[in-house]
Amino acid sequence: MHINFIERKGHVLTKPTLKCLNQVAAINPTLGCIHQCAYCYARGYSIYPGDGKVLVYGNMPEKLKRELSTRRKLPAYVFFSPTCDVLQPIPQVLKVTYELMEVLLEYGIGINLLTKGRIPAKFLQLFSQYKKLVHVQIGITTLNRDIQKQIESYAATPQARLLNIKRLCTIGIVPEVKLDPLIPGVTDTESNLTALFTALQGFGVDSTGINYLFLRPQIKKNLCKALVNTPFLSKILGHYQNGKSMNLLAEKSRVIALDVHYRKQAYEHISQWAKDFGIDAYVCGCKNPDITEEPLCGMNWGKHFESSSSQKRIF
């Protein structure tokens, strides 16, 4: 693993290309992510430094302070982070992430955080001081450690992620759970998901975003490499043989999504299973524009902060 500091030259707060995020400000404190999930779309980006390399923008916290002090309008909230996991277990990353979050929260700016890592105690202490400004999303699709290890080799274990949820609930922050991406025939089964929903219900989680894996050439290559010796691979690729080429409400490049009929039916089943546990499972609108009119995720986050902030600010 190579970790190096680099200097951020452009703005710290950026406008993501993902449609669901394009009304919010985002921060990417690193290039690269140690978790190396097989399905990660960021591993196919031209700025990805390569597996085993993480480049950390060490000057970001100071630059962010300067940027905020000169802005006429402040963002209502900031999303961490479209192309990396800011809680990947690297001390240099955690330090920069903590400082960035501290600066934003002290300014009264909300933070949205999506992670598949373990949330350190120091962050929980910070979040507990700014509960109304912190929205956390935990990515998890299975409690089965063997399956999780195959697809997200270096991310936190399912048990560690449940512990995140438990600790967040203890400090009064009920996280949103993201079942994204579900892998057909592997993590979308009734037994897998009801086991997960049972655990989530126990913590009082009442909302989950659901979305299926989509394929791009680089994602397919990484999946084949990660799952080569498993019975899953041929099953997964079989599901995409009748896949549909489409544009996400996201970027310019096209992806191969599962057949519309499969997705529609499966989302219905999953929503029903979730409902039995008092959980509202909503389909991610930006990644399924052909079958849902669900609001985009960004709008859901926006509502969270509108209701917790009396100040009206825009990016």
In contact, 54 and 88? CB cutoff 8 Å:
yes
Q: What angle do CA 307, 313, 315 make, to 5 degrees?
A: 115
Give the nearer residue to ligand SF4 in terms of CB position, either 113 or 281: 113
The one among 14, 36, 218, 271 contacting ligand SF4 by CB under 6 A: 36
Nearer to ligand SF4, 51 or 290 (CB): 51
Q: Shortest gap between Cβ of 158 and ligand SF4 (angstroms)?
A: 14
Report how far Cα 91 is from the mean position of its chain's Cα atoms.
20
In the complex with ligand SF4, the residue whose CB is nearer, 51 or 280, is 51
**# residues near ligand SF4 by CB under 6 A:** 10
- Shortest distance, CB of residue 57 to ligand SF4, whole angstroms? 15
Identity of the residue, 50 or 278, whose beta carbon is nearer to ligand SF4 in the bound complex: 50
Sole window of 23-31, 33-41, 185-193, 229-237 interacting with ligand SF4 (rule: CB under 6 A): 33-41
Stretch that binds ligand SF4, among 29-37, 140-148, 253-261, 290-298 (CB under 6 A): 29-37
Tell me the per-residue interface mask from 110 to 129 with ligand SF4, x by CB under 6 A, - otherwise.
Answer: ------x-------------
CB 95 within 8 Å of CB 122:
no
> Is 37 a residue that touches ligand SF4 (CB under 6 A)?
yes
Pairing of the two strands 53-57 and 30-31: antiparallel
Could you say which of 40, 156, 179, 205 contacts ligand SF4 (CB under 6 A)?
Answer: 40
State the DSSP string of 268-307.
Answer: HHHHHHHHTTT-EEEE-TTT-TTT--PPPHHHHHHHHHHH
Q: Which of 8, 19, 35, 63 binds ligand SF4 (CB under 6 A)?
A: 35
Nearer to ligand SF4, 32 or 289 (CB): 32
Is 223 a binder of ligand SF4 (CB under 6 A)? no
Q: How far apart (Å, rounded) are the C-alpha atoms in residues 197 and 190? A: 10
User: Which residues lie closer than 8 Å to 287 by C-beta, 6 or more apart?
Assistant: 180, 211, 212, 214, 248, 249, 250, 257
The answer to whether residue 226 forms part of the interface with ligand SF4 (CB under 6 A) is no
Q: Considering the complex, what minimum distance in angstroms separates the CB of residue 130 from ligand SF4?
A: 24
Site string for ligand SF4, 127-156 (x = CB under 6 A): ----------------------------x-
Cβ 109 to ligand SF4 shortest distance, Å: 22
85 binding ligand SF4? (CB under 6 A): yes
Exposure string over 41-73, b if 16+ CB within 10 A, otherwise e: bbbeeeebbeeebbbbbbebbebbeeebeeeee
| 193: contact with ligand SF4 by CB under 6 A | no
What is the distance between the alpha carbons of residues 273 and 280, in angstroms, rounded to a whole number? 10
Residues that bind ligand SF4 (CB under 6 A): 33, 35-37, 40, 42, 84-85, 116, 155
